[in-house]
Structure formats: C-alpha cells, structure tokens
Structure 1
C-alpha cells in the first residue's frame, strides 16, 4: 500500500488544532463576543466564526465585495441590514433575484407586508386575496398590484434615462432613483441605498420574477427599455477584471450564487484575459452537495472551474438559514471594521466594459 506523504504533512491530519476549552456564556454578550464564543466550539457555530473572520479580512484588504441574494430575504425585512452594509462601504455590488428587488420596494412605498402563519389553508388565503411566502403575508391588491402599477409607470416614464442597451443594473438604478424621489419611506429600501451609493444591483434572472412580469405590458405596448442580460455578464466580468482582490457573501445559492462565481470562468475560459477567480467566498445555505445542484455545490468544487483562487482557504459554507446568520455577520462586520470609501462601481462599469472589450479585441 502506497502512503501519500503529502497528506501526512498536512496539518489537518495532525493533532495540532486549538484545544477545546469550554467557553463561558455571559449576560448581554456583544456580537463579537458571541462570534468568539462560537469560534471556540464546533459545527456550524465554528463555521460562522470562520465566515466572520473571512468577511473581516475581505473588508480590511479593500477587496471588492459582492452580496448575492437568493430566497425571499427582503419580504422578512432584511433590506435595512443590506443598506447598513452598503452605507459602511462593505458591499460594492449585488446580484439578486428580481423578487428581492420587487419586494424591497413595498417597504419604500409603505405597502402592507405582515407576519402570518405557515400552517394554513392556502385556498382560504387565495379567496381572501392574501399571498403567502412561508410565514409572511402580502396583500394581492394593496401590495402586489399597487406595486406593479408603480414599477410599470417608472419603467415607462424613465425609459429615456435608461441606456438603450441596458443591463439589469441600469433597470435597478432607475427603480432605486424613482423610489428615492417618489416613495414615502425611501430609507427602508436597500435599492434606494444602492442607488445613492452607486452600487450596481444585477438581476440576471429578471424574467423569473415580478420585475420581469411587469415588463410584459411594456413589451406588448411597445414601450420601455428591455435589459440585455448578456451585458450583465460583461459588466460582472469587468468588475472582477478591475478588482485587485475580490470576494462574495452568498445568501443561499441559485442563479445569484453562480452568476457571481462564473465571473472567473468568463475571464479565464471565455475571454482568456485573466486567471484566478475570486479570492474569497462565503455561503450560507441549507442545500446539500450530494444531489448535484449548484446551490449545494461546495465552494472548493468551484476551483476546478476557476471560480475561486484556491480551494484550500478563504472559503466557507455555513449550513443553515441565512435569516439567522446574515444579521449576525453584518453586526460583527459593523462592530470590528472601519467604514470604507465607496467604490461607486455603477459609475465606472461602462468604462470598464469598454476597456475589457479593447483588450479582448487587441489580443484576438
């Protein structure tokens, strides 16, 4: 039997880890104290502490940080947490499902969203025109249809402000601007905060959401500007290309996770202008790797595609519910990291794509 000596020297296969010394819990622990407590233990508590350490490193090395949003995070009220991270300069760009953008706008416009119940008869809710996202209730007419009219109106009226060849970030920017100007509570929307700080918000699967559904009347009436999602691919690749260091904080998986992670292959496999991928990846998910889906795919696996610099460090998956983990991570970062100067990528992205095009054509 041949022994692999390489593995014998690997610290993972030695008894050299930190001694487990049961930590003490105390009243009124701060979030950094709680994270430190978790870091002294095991399982997903320790993974969360590792995620906090990676996030701190990402922020302190001035890495470009992307937040990816899958799952309905805004309907449960996570928008202002995202806003606080944008405000501090800790999030430079966002990849979201259209749903997260659409539902975020309800809070800006003061449209009703309430805590409901998960164990219910949905036929009765339908008869009462109450729409359900697990344990959250939204009104069909007062919320959804009211929001639809606002989105359609803004997209029609502001089509002159949106570039003719638009990425979904250009659509988000116009919607954020409209909400800042017209909404009653703009401070409750992360989309408004992203607009104010020139943080691009991409919705690469825009057709799979109410934002996309609201473009249907515009399409049939021949009004409005329709996004070019391949431009999203170009802009996101250019962001990685122009970043000295880069990483992501992923809530769930799905399209947002992969769209962000495929920036590495876009530059390496397709354009052949830069190798490496992301320096850091943090994901919070309940998805398993053994069913073959992207949401549960390990971040290490991404190394084989060139999505991440190395599979050996700078990445962690925290298993469980991001509604629990995300606020803890954000509070930790806001506690231990100094605010950063805003990168204002929205104002630079078009020039970056032009530079990338020049370089690609020159070497072709």
Structure 2
C-alpha cells in the first residue's frame, strides 16, 4: 500500500522503454516518451489511485477539484446560476429573439441557445465547419437551407449519407416528392408504387427509377473527368456538376451549391445507399469509376490537419457523425502528426447514450478517444428533431454572422493529402 512517507512502495508493473518513472511531491509520474508527444500517467501516493492521464498544466479544471477539495469551488455545484425570470413572447420576435428567449429558460430550449452561441463562435473565429447529415433530411426539402449556409460561407465540407445526396437531386431535376401520411397501409402503397419515408411519399417510377437512370448516366459519362483514384467527394462533385448543367432547377439542390463553391461532400457509407446501388450496373458492365473510401479517410484527416480551428454541426448520428469525429484519432493515434481533435461540436439527436451506440454517445465521451480538444466547453447536444432545430440554427447564423469567403476545400484536398503524406513519412523516419 502506498503511504505518504518519503519512500513509498508502489505495486506497479516493471517500467520499461519507452516509459520512464519519476517521483516528486507524493506523485509517481510515469512518462511515455515518443517523438510526437510525452504522455503522463500519475499516481498520488496518499490516494493510491490514478488521478489523470495527462500533465497538471493541461487541465486546470480537474486540478481545481483535486487541490481544493471535491466540487466545493465548481460553480456547477453552487446556487450561483442566472436567475430564471419568465421571458416574454412578443408578436414581432425574430429568430435571434427566440434564441435569446430559449437561453433564459431551461431543458433543450437552453441547449438550443447554447448550440446557437457555439455555431456563431465557430463561424466568427474562422473555424473550418463541417455539416454531417444522417437520417433523411433532404426528402423534406432541407437541402435549400444547406445551400444558404454554403452560399454564406458557413459550411466548408459535408459528410452525408448517400441517401441524402440521392434524394437532394430529385428537387434539382423536378422529380415529384409529396407530403403523405404516417398512418397508412404500406401494402396498399407498395401496390400503388408509392415509397414512404414516414409522412413523405415518393413515386417509384416517376421519381426513383428516373433518378436511378440519371445517376448511372452521369457517373458513366463523366468517368473521364473523375480521378481514377477517386474519393466519394469526387463522385459527389461530378453529380453536382451534372445537375448544374442539366437539371431544371439546380438552385434547389445543395449538391449543386456545393459544386459551385467547391465544398467537398463525402459519402463514406456510399455502398449503403441508392448512389452505391446505382454503381452496381456500372461495375458489372465495366463502366465508370468507383470510389476509394479509404481516400475519404485521408482527405478528411487532411482537412482537420490544415485547419487552425475546426468544428461540426451534426444532424443525427450514425456513420456521418463518427466519420467526421474520427479525424482526430486518425491524425493522433494512427498517423501521430497532430493531437487535439475538434474545437467545437454541436449534435442534434434523439438517440440515447446508455445503449452504447455511437449515435447517442455524448460528445464529452469523444474526448476519451481524442475526438475533441476538451470535454468542458465548445460542445453541446440538443435532444430533439433535426428537422425542427436545424432551420432555426441556420436562420440564427444567417441573421447574426457576417458572410465568410468560401474556403474551397475541394480544390485543395489533393494537395493537402500529399503534404500530410510527407509529414507522416518524415516523422516515421525520425522514429525509425
């Protein structure tokens, strides 16, 4: 058992390279020494337990607790919060007024106000902003809101399901999507060739089959324009370009807007979508170019690597959420060239954290994986429906933030990957 004497006894495994042990002021420090970092493991003798997996200087918040006794000095555990004074609803309220109203209340209304504040900070600090799209946002027309955010320079890159890209194109080509009903007999709808997404109806022949032919045609005919080693962003870029040139209503598609402003759109689970399904005939016929999804991993990591500050607005969870967040571990754990992860994270979700799924995992939990820089600030989860909250956040940002110049990441991503590759090999040579 560890004591407070000058020569405590520790029951620890043998310390071998690349570790070294130091003892000072009742603290045993085991340092892991690598070219790209020094990692500290510490045990306080009087408590005989591990305190933190990093140096004291890195985290004043936790030190505050350990040096001053529990939670006594943490304002979260005192009756010192802002007084709740019932706010007033007025007939002339703007969206910023409504967000301010929410900020003076509680529950998820207050979380939404926090999300708006974080989004504003992301934009105003020049951070590289990623939008992640899970679920089915585009079939209900949310693509136009995304387009407005791209136009203002508030979205720099996108990670989406292939479904959100596929259904977005319906509006560009004028293919019918209509409001339906959620309480129906789906056997009847199937017989009538009507596909249902909750309370949205899409016609099998007039919309889906027509869209399928367009996707297949555009990818096949533009195979010479698509790089031979293509990421899914290259596929999305080609589809956006085709819609820009050929669609009746290109202004109704966020994919077209992304093409115009060189905003890369990644579909890391492209095989699990109608975009991937429509590449199946091309594969069998030996036509077209097929994406390298590991190149998606490299390009997304390079985006974080080149960003002074970075953050994301996550609509739902799933593959888009994790693909965006794993850029931190890709750089730090795998390539060992940059530590930190994201500076800001906002998620809108209805998923629970207690089932172990990534969709419901708290953003703070991501700190333990190196996905965010700190779990203490700059992140918030708003529990609810993205279709309700996302337009409010867009309207708020467009109201209070000045437009930014687009970063045009699509035009730079290949160069960034090559630069990252050089750093990776240079670091490897030093370690070897």
What's the TM-score bracket when you normalise by the shorter of the two chains?
over 0.9
The CA deviation string for residues 304-359 of structure 1, in whole angstroms up to 9 with x for no partner, is: 00000000000000000000000000000000000001000000000000000011
State the Cα distance separating 1:5 from its structure 2 match. Answer: 3.8
Query: Are the aligned partners of 1:250 and 1:282 in contact in 2 as well (CA < 8 Å)?
Result: yes
Higher relative contact order (CA 8 A, sep 6+): 1
Distance 2:251 2:92 in 1: 29
Q: Which residue of 2 aligns with 1:4?
A: 67
8 Å contact kept, 1:80–1:188: yes
**Could you tell me how far 1:164 is from its partner in structure 2?**
0.1
- Alpha-carbon distance in structure 1 between the residues aligned to 2:406 and 2:193: 42
Contact 1:276 1:306 (8 Å CA) reproduced:
yes
Deviating 4+ runs (over 2 angstroms):
3-9
- Specify every segment of 5 or more residues in structure 2 that has no aligned partner in the other structure, as ranges: 1-65
Q: 1:6, CA displacement in angstroms?
A: 4.8
> In the TM superposition, what whole-angstrom CA distance separates every residue of 1:218-254 from its partner, at most 9, and x where no partner exists?
0000000000000000000000000000000000000
Retained in 2: the 8 A contact 1:7–1:13?
A: no
Shift, 1:7, TM fit: 3.8
- How far 1:4 moved relative to its partner? 8.2
Offset, 1:15: 1.2
> Tell me, which stretches of 5 or more residues in structure 1 are unaligned?
none
Q: Name the count of aligned residue pairs.
A: 362
Query: Is the contact between residue 245 and residue 279 of structure 1 (CA under 8 Å) also seen in structure 2?
Result: yes
How far is 1:292 from its partner?
0.5
SS in 2 for 1:65: strand
Q: CA RMSD in A?
A: 1.0
1:155 to 2:219 alignment: yes
Alpha-carbon separation, structure 2, partners of 1:33 and 1:7 = 38
Partners of 2:196 and 2:263 in 1: CA distance: 30
1:264 counterpart residue number: 328
User: CA shift at 1:70, angstroms?
Assistant: 0.2
Which of the residues 188, 201, 207 maps onto 1:143?
A: 207
Q: State how far apart, in whole Å, the 2-side matches of 1:241 and 1:141 are.
A: 44
- 1:290 is paired with a residue of what secondary structure? coil
Contact 1:202 1:232 in 2 (8 A): yes
Query: Whole-Å Cα distance in 1 between the matches of residues 102 and 357 of structure 2?
Result: 29
TM-score (norm 1): 0.98
The two structures have a TM-score, normalised by structure 2, of 0.83
What is the distance in 2 between the residues matched to 1:119 and 1:176? 35
For 2:403 and 2:99, locate their aligned partners in 1 and report how far apart those are by CA, in whole Å: 20
Find the aligned partners of 1:232 and 1:124 in 2 and give their Cα distance. Answer: 41
